[in-house]
Amino acid sequence: MADQLITGTTLVEKETRSIGDVPVGTILSFAKSLTGVPTLPNSFVECNGQTLVDANSTLNGTVIPDLNGDNRFLRGNATSGGTGGSETHTHTLSNNGEIATDGGNNSLSINSDATSAASTLPTYYGVVWIMRVK
């Protein structure tokens, strides 16, 4: 039976195994707004910058990273918690005030005002980042 305890395990170990071998502190993507998706189990919280208040969690009192409100991408590293990058992305093009030509009647037009933060992003699907806290 799925709800029987394995010999030698405690109830806490049983609960941990019932949702898989996902360690506390793991950050996962969650399709929260998808029709039919149930609410989060109480062992997970959204990564929205709150201070965790849960005496049953080893992360009690810890500030959960704000990955959703800041629209953050995750990046691999040897340690966790560091941030970087830039909120904006621009390129400066210059041809020293000259019109670039191909030797004929064709010219290259440079529009230096055509920048947008969204235009530099690859196509994406939005998810809610969640973290296992107990």
4-53 residue pLDDT tens: 455 555 555 444 444 568 999 999 999 999 999 999 999 999 999 999 99
* Total tally of structural domains belonging to the chain: 1
- Return d(Cα 101, Cα 45) in angstroms, integer: 57
Determine, yes or no, domain membership for 3: no
Two tokens, residue 134 = 């107990």
CATH number for 31: 3.90.1340
Q: Is residue 123 part of a domain?
A: yes
pTM: 0.64
Q: Residue 61 falls within a domain, yes or no?
A: yes
Question: Is 85 among the domain residues?
Answer: no
Domain that holds residue 27: 22-72+119-134
Domain contains 39:
yes
In tens, the pLDDT along 97-117 reads 555 555 555 555 555 555 554
Q: Is residue 7 part of a domain?
A: no
Residues 6+ apart with CB under 8 A from 89: 115, 117, 120
